[in-house]
Amino acid sequence: MPDQLLRWVELGSEPGVAPGPLERVRALLNTDDRFHGTDHLADGPAALVSFRDALRRYLTSGDVAGLDALAATHPLVVTFGAGAATLAPAGANDVVGGLLAEVHRAHAAGEWPRLKACANPDCQWVYYDGSRNRSGRWCSMNECGDVMKARAYRQRARQA
Ligand SMILES: [Zn+2]
């Protein structure tokens, strides 16, 4: 079966590509490209857009209300195989359910806290923080990191 998500989502856009299947979640979040002001899901399925927006709210503010309500309509089941128990969507072709299962797996694996939105308010690109101490704040040190440091410097200079 072809991967339905890939009709709408492009995997592997730098910076901050996530490892393994978590990249599917990150790539969906970045279809709302605020840096370029482009919504790549503008013509996408409403269910996928709602899920993306609820997941972004959860990622950036911890607000679970929208995501919980949505998850309740996409049941997951435990499946066994190759010595592992994993969650999978109960419904065949449930793209949102598959992504919810991946979010669950990422939480259990401790990967979820590494998924962050860039602290530059003009960017907000979602990236995977691969730094050892998880201290990254910007999608890319060369671009947003320098822009934000310069902005903070000017602000301090004005206040001094
Ligand atoms: Zn950024």
State the distance from the centre of ligand 1 to the C-alpha of 154, rounded, in angstroms. 19
Locate the domains of the chain by residue range.
4-159
State the distance from the centre of ligand 1 to the C-alpha of 137, rounded, in angstroms. 9
Query: What beta strand segments (E) does 24-136 contain?
Result: 32-33, 38-39, 76-81, 84-89, 115-117, 126-128
State the distance from the centre of ligand 1 to the C-alpha of 31, rounded, in angstroms. 15
State the distance from the centre of ligand 1 to the C-alpha of 138, rounded, in angstroms. 5
The span from the CA of 102 to the CA of 108, in Å, is 10
Q: Is 127 exposed, middle or buried (0-12, 13-18, 19+ CB in 10 A)?
A: buried
Q: Are strands 76-81 and 84-89 parallel, antiparallel or unpaired?
A: antiparallel
Percent of the chain with pLDDT over 70: 99
Query: What beta strand segments (E) does 25-156 contain?
Result: 32-33, 38-39, 76-81, 84-89, 115-117, 126-128
State the distance from the centre of ligand 1 to the C-alpha of 23, rounded, in angstroms. 17
State the distance from the centre of ligand 1 to the C-alpha of 117, rounded, in angstroms. 8
State the distance from the centre of ligand 1 to the C-alpha of 144, rounded, in angstroms. 5
48 in Cβ contact with 9 (< 8 Å): no
- Per-residue pLDDT of 59-116, as tens digits, reads 999 999 999 999 999 999 999 988 989 999 999 889 999 999 999 999 999 999 999 9
What does the pLDDT read at residue 146? 80
118 in Cβ contact with 138 (< 8 Å): yes
Q: Average pLDDT for residues 35-42, to the nearest whole number?
A: 92
- Per-residue pLDDT of 101-150, as tens digits, reads 999 999 999 999 999 999 999 899 999 999 889 888 999 877 787 877 78
What are the respective helix, strand and coil percentages of the chain, to the nearest 5? 45, 15, 40
